[in-house]
């Protein structure tokens, strides 16, 4: 598929199209799909228990990963929200738990105040769109791209989205970083040799996730 002449305009249009489709999903249907995603995360990624996990507060009809994370915290895990420290700088992850001190930030999303800055070993990333090669289309600010580029070793990158966000390609650029896994209400997919491959066996997902954490010395 040839790249559009004006990639920025094309991405902006696709972003608006996908957001409109996502927000048009009836609330009851969205909740049902969210429950399915939570079950998949609990079964396939329970190996993240005890691991510091970064996530994003649900925004504009995104899947809500807090249900999964509640269980992770009960099992000794730490969870953290991203904070914009400065424009054109990587995000900082500050520890969050239910009741953690926070203030409303942009779009009224909570910003933890006075909690520890932690380095997540795994990230639950909410894309606007994701493509057949595992690349994500974000909201256009570039913060996650900068953050991922600055993280060495790379965390375990798990995109969590509704399947309505699926697209053929985002026309990835050199700064775009593919995910390791994509989880939707349809199931878990892994990025293998530049393409998404459906994973039918949760035990295999767990084994691969542990292997990646070990290889990146994040265990």
**Centroid of chain to Cα 76:** 21
**Centroid of chain to Cα 197:** 18
Which pLDDT belongs to residue 69? 96
- Residues 6 or more apart whose CB falls under 8 angstroms from that of 55 comprise 65, 66, 69, 79, 80, 81, 123, 124
Q: Please, are residues 141 and 18 in contact by the beta-carbon 8 Å criterion? A: no
**Measured torsion, CA atoms of residues 216, 178, 91, 183, in degrees rounded to the nearest 10:** -90
Return the structure tokens found at 75.
Answer: 């099992």
Task: For 128-171, give the DSSP string.
Answer: SEE-TTS-EE--SS-HHHHHHHH-SSPPEEEEE--GGGB-S---
3-state SS assignment for residue 60: coil
Which pLDDT belongs to residue 118? 94
Q: Residue 122 CB: number of other CB atoms within 10 A?
A: 25
Mean pLDDT by 10 residues, the chain (219 residues): 88 96 97 97 94 95 96 93 86 93 85 94 96 94 87 95 97 93 98 95 95 86
Among all chains, which residue has been given the structure tokens 């904070």?
83
Nearest to 157 by CA among 125, 188, 119: 125
Q: Residue 25 CB: number of other CB atoms within 10 A?
A: 15
* CA distance to 55, 63, 116, 219, per residue, from 143 (Å): 14, 20, 20, 25
Which pLDDT belongs to residue 219? 64
Q: Residue 85 CB: number of other CB atoms within 10 A?
A: 11
């Amino acid at each position: 598929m040839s790249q559009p002449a004006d990639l920025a305009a094309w991405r902006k249009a696709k972003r608006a199209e996908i957001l409109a489709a996502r927000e048009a999903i009836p609330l009851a249907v969205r909740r049902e799909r969210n429950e399915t995603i939570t079950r998949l995360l609990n079964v396939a990624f329970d190996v993240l228990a005890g691991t510091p996990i970064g996530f994003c507060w649900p925004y504009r009809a995104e899947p809500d990963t807090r249900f999964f994370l509640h269980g992770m915290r009960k099992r000794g895990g730490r969870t953290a929200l991203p904070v914009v420290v400065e424009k054109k700088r990587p995000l900082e992850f500050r520890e969050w738990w239910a009741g953690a001190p926070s203030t409303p930030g942009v779009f009224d999303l909570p910003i933890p105040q006075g909690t520890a800055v932690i380095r997540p070993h795994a990230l639950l990333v909410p894309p606007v769109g994701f493509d057949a090669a595992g690349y994500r289309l974000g909201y256009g600010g570039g913060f996650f791209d900068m953050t991922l580029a600055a993280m060495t070793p790379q965390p375990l990158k798990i995109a969590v989205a509704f399947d309505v966000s699926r697209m053929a390609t985002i026309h990835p650029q050199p700064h775009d970083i593919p995910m390791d896994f994509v989880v939707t209400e349809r199931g878990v997919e892994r990025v293998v040799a530049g393409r998404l491959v459906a994973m039918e066996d949760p035990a295999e997902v767990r084994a691969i996730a542990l292997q990646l954490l070990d290889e990146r010395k994040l265990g």
